[in-house]
Chain A
Amino acid sequence: MKHILILVVLFVSLPAAFGQQVQLLTVDNLNERLEQGKDTTYVINFWATWCAPCIKELPYFEKLQEEKQKEKLKVLLVSVDFKSQLEKRVIPFVSRHSLKNEVFLLDEQDQQEYIDKINKEWSGAIPATLFVKGKNKKFLEQEFTYPKLLSEYNNFNK
């Protein structure tokens, strides 16, 4: 009995021991999630492990979530790495950098289609960031410094 209990405890705590998980996310999944949010401000950053400017600004998104803990803010980091790279690159990257925000891998195949579904003005280039609160949306295809990100977030939340 005792052994079973230990096994159960081990099993339940395993995901925590392996740290951050990366889930697959379609654009429809993302939209459903955003619709549930109502008064939450979502900051969704599109990035990839091969994109140097993206990696440079990831800590700013981590910092934003940490500093605004008391506000209704949710940062989502959505990787556009290839699906075949989930185990090989994305998960190791996330644990190596100890990312605390929720990380997803975009589960879409036809870029011509999903880019427009996320935002019609998006060329598809990353980094790109989407701010969403209820029906308000702002899409920015650009790199951020921390002060720039902070002021963009504050302005959006006004």
Chain B
Amino acid sequence: METKKSLITPGTVLTNIVLALLSVFFIFPLYWIITGSFKDPIAVNASPPVWFPTEPTLDNYVRLLSNPAMKWLWNSVLLSVVAMALTCLTAAMAGYVLAKKRFVGQKVIFSIMICAMALPKQVILVPLLKEMSALGLHDTLWGVILPTVGWPFGIFLMKQFSETIPTEMLEAARIDGAGETRTFVDIVLPMVKPGLGALAIFTFINSWNDYFLQLIMLNSSRNLTISLGIAKLQAEMSNDFGLIMAGAALAAIPIITVFLMFQKYFTQGIAMGAVKG
């Protein structure tokens, strides 16, 4: 391996060039969103295009805030945080017992969860809408939060992480007279912390970006999320690209920041979730 690294072959040079070009291609849309959000209408529509706004304007953001954009952003934050907290709590509890206890019906429950995960979750949106209407939760954030928490991926992931807890530790706790709750809080939770970190960030990003579910559940302007808000702006003023890019930036920047801060947990968690158990 050491000898390989010091070797610079035409092949590795070519690979690096291709990777660099691809990186530009993958970063560019984000660059175009951010720079676009600071362009005035003339710069937005200019041909040849303005590659960098030399006379940046905040006008797009001012116009964006004449919509309830901050309320949309707040809804997105609230929805994602609540979904994240509930998912982490319920999944940690369920994952722990599925991994570390033996009880009647365990196999059946786990099999049903795996089967459900393999099905396309968007297929159930029609009945879900009906159910939420019946519960009076349509057009509320709960209509989006509850199905997100119900999706069994989190349980599956936490089961994977809970497998790594040494059984001896749980046994020692029991001998010391710790009850189930104490054991869970004092021993299990600290042991599965990396898994919880992964699940938290994963759920946060997924619920933030779950446009389809939000679209079905939320209607009234003050209940929209930031994703729905931008989609609405686009539908209403399709050629006002400066304004739309400002909205896109407002939606993308917070979530990208969260991702970059916690990306270590995130990559770990995705890799762990794929290890079939």
Q: Do A and B come from one complex?
A: no
Interface residues in chain B, defined as those with a beta carbon under 8 Å from any beta carbon in chain A: none
